[in-house]
Amino acid sequence: LPGPRSQDMAKVLPAIRSDPLSYLQRVREEYGDLAAFPVPGAAVLLVNEPDGVRHVLQGNARNWGKETIQYAALARVTGPGLLASAESSWITHRRAAAPAFHHERLDRIGEQVLDAADEAVSEWSAHAGGTVDLAPAVLRVALDAVGRALFSADLSGSAHELVDASDDAARLVVRLGRALLPIPPWVPTPLNLRLRTARRRLTTVSGQLIAERRARGASGGDDLLGLLIDSGLDDGAIRDELITMIIAGHETVAASLAWTLMLLAEHPEAQERVHAELAAHPGRVSMLSHRSDLPWTRAVVDEALRLFPPAWVVSRRSHRPDTVSGVDVPAGTTVIVSPWLLHRREESWPDPLAFDPERFLVEGAGRTAYAPFGLGPRLCIGREFAIGEMVLVLSRVLAAYRLDLPAGWTRPRHQARVAVHPQGGMPLVLTRRAGR
């Protein structure tokens, strides 16, 4: 298979570490939809051909597990929580967590998401007419939302500390994932020692949180923590799921919101259309608003997730030999899939870099090359939660403000961390709407 040669890899190692996404993008541009990396041992392939992507993540998902460097790095912090788990116990945990994302529960969380959004919006009022970095505020909203969904409580005490510790740990995981030659966890490198400390802190605070809830009485309650307690999982497994949800559930939503607000500021007509649609259906805007109620708003969200999918890479490893995109691969092959690259494939999306929500108003167009939430059995459990939250936050922000680009605007560069963030934040001009 075509792909970079080992000499090239040696030369570009620093570039891969500092901006892995741009490196993947260059590999795709140079070698096409299927490329092999010259790493020692089992094959590592970049697969960007839509049938191959669907085969690995969905069609033959049973053959493709999560025993990869990416998820091993994550598991150093989350343990075998839902996202990192390569074990068959994954399905038991998924079933235990699923009711926390059922419609009725999401509907109730909606009120709290709106409160969190209102708080952020009112904080901006002192700066109306000026430029405000919206990234920290949407991060706070997303954190608040996921905290409430998990603990149905404000993020004070142990819950707050757990979020703080998870954030810290997520940063270390990113660094670990970039160490291309994996160093075993027992070697006392500075990073390994910091990871060990982070994991210990997470274990302590999540243990406290679980103990506090257990002390409250017979039933755990209907939030995620309560459901996991009632499902009979042991404290270690519950802890891993809490940490997983915090890491998987807030940076991703915050990043998508920041990019969506940017795209709306860049496209005033699209912005006014979202504002008008949301304003015309105040009674119906909720976490569960249906696509048919808000077709334009949902198309904008879908298109923003196409151009800036926060989860920029997923990976799998084959248990048995298989055929991917017409190529036979042995057992133990690692496949890297990047929604970012898939969504920018000119063969699937005409004029792929253009922001054009209309694409999503056409039934089925391009959908075979669209996977912001993954595909198949490991599809994101928080998908509806995330989309509902985005719609609610947009409804509050756009009801209060018009968003514009600051003078001399250049788009922030992307920065691939756990999610792809705008580097240096998202400074936009806020103008209070008439009557607010």
Q: Where do we find the tokens 């008008």?
A: 276
* 181 vs 167: CA distance, rounded Å: 24
CA angle, 372 as apex, 410 and 315 as ends, to 5°? Answer: 110
Q: Does 410 belong to an annotated binding site?
A: no
Is residue 298 within 8 Å of residue 360, measured between CB atoms? yes
Pairing of strands 314-318, 64-65: antiparallel
Is residue 154 within 8 Å of residue 112, measured between CB atoms? no
CB of 263 to ligand HEM, least distance (A): 14
Of the pair 24, 430, the CB lying nearest ligand HEM is at: 24
CB of 373 to ligand HEM, least distance (A): 5
Chain positions contacting ligand HEM, by CB under 6 A: 82-83, 94, 146, 149, 244-245, 248-249, 252-253, 256, 309-311, 314, 372-374, 378, 380-382, 385-386
Based on its alpha-carbon atoms, the radius of gyration of the chain, rounded to whole angstroms, reads 22
The stretches of 125-223 forming alpha helices (DSSP H) are 135-151, 157-178, 190-216
CB of 166 to ligand HEM, least distance (A): 12
Within 10 angstroms of residue 96's Cβ, the number of other Cβ atoms is 21
Of the pair 375, 430, the CB lying nearest ligand HEM is at: 375
- Among 229, 233, 210, CA closest to 218: 229
Strand partners, 337: 314
Of the pair 229, 314, the CB lying nearest ligand HEM is at: 314
CB of 170 to ligand HEM, least distance (A): 13
Is residue 112 within 8 Å of residue 145, measured between CB atoms? yes
Of the pair 4, 385, the CB lying nearest ligand HEM is at: 385
Of the pair 332, 376, the CB lying nearest ligand HEM is at: 376
CB of 366 to ligand HEM, least distance (A): 17
CB of 258 to ligand HEM, least distance (A): 11
- Cα separations in angstroms, 277 against 105, 192, 342, 359, 393: 25, 50, 30, 18, 14
Of the pair 120, 430, the CB lying nearest ligand HEM is at: 120
Q: Where do we find the tokens 């109620």?
A: 293
Contacts of residue 125, defined as CB under 8 A and 6 or more positions apart, other chains included, come to 400, 432
CB of 5 to ligand HEM, least distance (A): 28
Within 10 angstroms of residue 66's Cβ, the number of other Cβ atoms is 21
Of the pair 110, 249, the CB lying nearest ligand HEM is at: 249
Task: Please identify the residue of the shown chain whose CB is closest to the bound ligand HEM.
Answer: 382
Q: Which residues are annotated as a binding site?
A: 380
Q: Which residues are annotated as a binding site for heme?
A: 380
